[in-house]
Structure 1
Amino acid sequence: MIKLTKKTNFLIFILAISCGSLVANIYYTQPIIQFIAKDLNISSAFSGLLTTLTQIGYGLGLFFIVPMADLFKSKKIIGILIGLTITSLIGTLMSTNGVVFILLTTIIGIGACAAQILVPLTLRIVPMEETGKYVGKVMSGLLIGIMIARPLSIGISDWFGWRMVIIFSFITLIVILLLIIKFLPNYEVVSTSNINMSYPSLIVSMLKLLKNTPPLQQRAFYHACLFAAFSLYWTVMPILLRSEPLHFSNNEIALIGFVAIAGALLTPTIGKIADKGYISIMTNVSMMLVLLSIILLLFVQDHSLISVILIIISGIFIDIGVSGNLLLGQKVIFGLNPVMRNRLNGLYMTIFFLGGAFGSWIGSYTYYKFNSEVTLFIGTALPLIALIVHLINNTTLKLSKTRSKYLN
């Protein structure tokens, strides 16, 4: 049994802040695109590529690089990816060419996938019976990084200009790299049988793994729906709040975003409950919280105190629900096969990340094409579909166990 020490807790802290710092790079540029595009003479037609290609890079990294940690030592891959990100940040900082800047953001997105190699290392550090709690702490760091990136980049840009956001990320990742080099153990690959596997065979094995692993299929589908709702929510909610008759300022919207981060801090608590065997119940709770969070926005009608309270509760609920369900899914898939843990995580993350990309697109498209009510209706449908499918799967599983019991 792994004994927990102060050193262990410090290592978990390093994993948490590393994950948050890496993933934040995907989202820093989203709210400040117009400033970057103007400075680098990037046309409005191509400015959207700044965020799109960063996300594409991250998705490619999840599928093609994260699984490599089943073949090679994780610390080496993580170090290379962070080094690549730091180098790319230097390039973006010095860049005066829009095309070069856009290409470098793709590499930054690829480097951010190192966060998903760090998360499974939690299971090498803590006892199996407490994985929910400690994976929850690491995931809290990752989710806080996602949620704080946008308001932080707005604040830094307003005060010091957009290039200072790049400098901030560069300094942060230098510190992260030094901490990882100094403190992260150089863990061996879980199984020596993986070492003789070629990279093409690794990718082929992932496709077979997805086809033959129902728990992975289910958890990936659930979270693709919830992350689509999450992306739709945070894409549309700021636009909705700025419009009539709400008229919230950018500072007010940023403050609401910071307050909503409190939801992600409850992820370890959900992990503790999951460690006691209540994964199915907490999955239902997570899905219902996401559903409720979007329904609450339907009752926001003005700039009153009641509306502000509803928005804050809504933001906290969606962060609790999405972060909780993400953790529950990882707890399930990490328990399937340690030898394939990084492949399982790569597939899980890739699938739900595609769901998030769909949510961002459908949110902005329906908002401008139709109205906010249509967008919010789609937003409520996504977690509702996940909840219904989860209940059906649970009922089917219980019936199957009952039949098996009587047949035996």
Structure 2
Amino acid sequence: MILLTKKANFLILILAMSCGSLAANIYYAQPIVQLIAKELNISSDLSGLLTTFTQIGYGLGLFLIVPLADFFKSKKIIGILIGLTIISLIGTLISENGIVFILLTTIIGIGACAAQMLVPLTMRIVPIEETGKYVGRVMSGLLIGIMIARPLSIGIAGWFSWRMVFLFSLITLVVMLLLIIKFLPNYEVVSTSNLSYPKLIASMVKLLINTSPLQQRAFYHACLFATFSLYWTVMPILLRSEPLHFSNNEIALFGFVAIAGALLTPTIGKIADKGFISIMTNVSMMLVLLSIVLLFFVRDHSLTSVILIIISGISIDIGVSGNVLLGQKVIFGLNPEIRNRLNGLYMTIFFLGGAFGSWIGSYTYYKFNSEVTLIIGTALPLIALLVHLIKNNTINLSKTKSKYMS
């Protein structure tokens, strides 16, 4: 076992904290949309744009900006993006116009894509045989940021005001930017290619078509992240409704408790480092499947229901955080020169899956009922699991045939 220096461990901590601080910005506004819309006179029909445009900005950043880190020193791009986010957050504190506020949240979403330039830098800090463990630590930070954003936002807005949520993010990112400027090395670019920007984007399309490990891992996690988004979109609505009737504070507490699942990501990374990527992929998918199945048995406000909800929340967080790490371990090991493009594609695809999950979750819940929503939530990880099992069996059969033929 290789022990990292104190400096390397400190850099990993900075990457994890920075990723979490950036990713949280995508979700801070989601549970307090009504408060923001009321003060800024945004109609109920348009209030959803506050979160939608943040997510659109993030998606655009993943596809159009993250690949640039293959050709330019990522520290500079990361610094610019965080600086742009800080300026936009200052704007949210003083904005009185709904349209301007939506534009600012879009820019905040674009800036959040810097997190996906920070994650691949882990590979520059740690030895190749321990990448799963340490990428797991960085991804734990990112996923904790995503998970903590909603309950933290509810708490800060309830205790103070919704603008204090953005002030909190502003202060956090200023600290992270100063740490990155001071301590993060200005790593040299790995790629030796000299592509124009249009050719760079075109190369991503070719990479997606020609890289089957990327296609597979992106599909698996698109299914799981769609379930994750469906889960956390519908869960608060479901828990508030009769006969469950949980309070906002109780719902926020469930969100905080579920974060414990993300803390196990480095453990999954350690197991993956030992060569058990396929097995842990199956485990991750089954945990996500279990998390939805358990909700069918939540019937009231009893202790049994509370325990089931807690197990469900922890299970989905372990499954989703573990699977995204396993996917990154696979694609980061393909070619260092195209690592950021691969990561940008991976994140873009499963992010689209997440957007689909949020939409289909709320649509089916209001259009039909919670049972239909949960059935869809069950189907998504089940499809991913079946495809993965079939794919592995096919590969194993091919290896067996080759062995006997030789």
Bin for the TM-score computed over the shorter chain: over 0.9
Aligned-partner SS, 2:389: helix
1:3-402 paired onto structure 2 within 5 Å: 4-191=4-191, 193-194=192-193, 196-402=194-400
Large movers: runs of 4+ above 3 Å: none
Aligned-partner SS, 2:186: coil
The 1-side partners of 2:27 and 2:6 are apart by 32
* 1:115 positional shift: 0.1
The 1-side partners of 2:355 and 2:152 are apart by 22
* 1:356 positional shift: 0.2
Deviations 1:90-146 (A, max 9, x none): 111110000000011000000000000000000000000000000000000000000
Aligned-partner SS, 1:286: helix
* 1:401 positional shift: 1.8
AA aligned opposite 1:368:
Y
Gaps of 5+ in 1: none
The 1-side partners of 2:397 and 2:68 are apart by 38
Number of positions where the alignment pairs a residue of Structure 1 with one of Structure 2: 406
The 1-side partners of 2:395 and 2:73 are apart by 37
The 2-side partners of 1:3 and 1:132 are apart by 14
AA aligned opposite 2:41:
N
Deviations 1:234-292 (A, max 9, x none): 00011000000000000000001000000000000000000000000000000000000
Gaps of 5+ in 2: none
Aligned-partner SS, 1:165: helix
The 2-side partners of 1:231 and 1:268 are apart by 22
The 1-side partners of 2:377 and 2:292 are apart by 7
Deviations 1:207-237 (A, max 9, x none): 0000001100000000000000000000001
AA aligned opposite 1:90:
I
Contact 1:3/1:126, CA 8 A, preserved across alignment? no
AA aligned opposite 1:353:
F
The 2-side partners of 1:322 and 1:354 are apart by 15
* 1:60 positional shift: 0.4
AA aligned opposite 1:384:
L
- Taking structure 2 as the reference length, what is the TM-score of the superposition? 0.99
The 1-side partners of 2:97 and 2:340 are apart by 37
After alignment, is 62-71 or 396-405 more displaced?
396-405
* 1:2 positional shift: 8.6
The 1-side partners of 2:272 and 2:59 are apart by 28
The 1-side partners of 2:376 and 2:235 are apart by 14
The 1-side partners of 2:233 and 2:96 are apart by 29
The 2-side partners of 1:251 and 1:76 are apart by 41
The 1-side partners of 2:27 and 2:117 are apart by 19
Q: Which residue of 2 aligns with 1:406?
A: 404
* 1:406 positional shift: 3.2
Aligned-partner SS, 1:190: coil
Deviations 1:323-363 (A, max 9, x none): 00000000000001111000000000000000000000000
- Taking structure 1 as the reference length, what is the TM-score of the superposition? 0.98
* 1:3 positional shift: 6.7
Aligned-partner SS, 2:103: helix
AA aligned opposite 2:312:
S
AA aligned opposite 2:124:
R
Aligned-partner SS, 1:145: helix
After alignment, is 395-404 or 159-168 more displaced?
395-404
AA aligned opposite 1:53:
F
Aligned-partner SS, 2:339: helix
The 2-side partners of 1:2 and 1:251 are apart by 43
Contact 1:3/1:127, CA 8 A, preserved across alignment? no
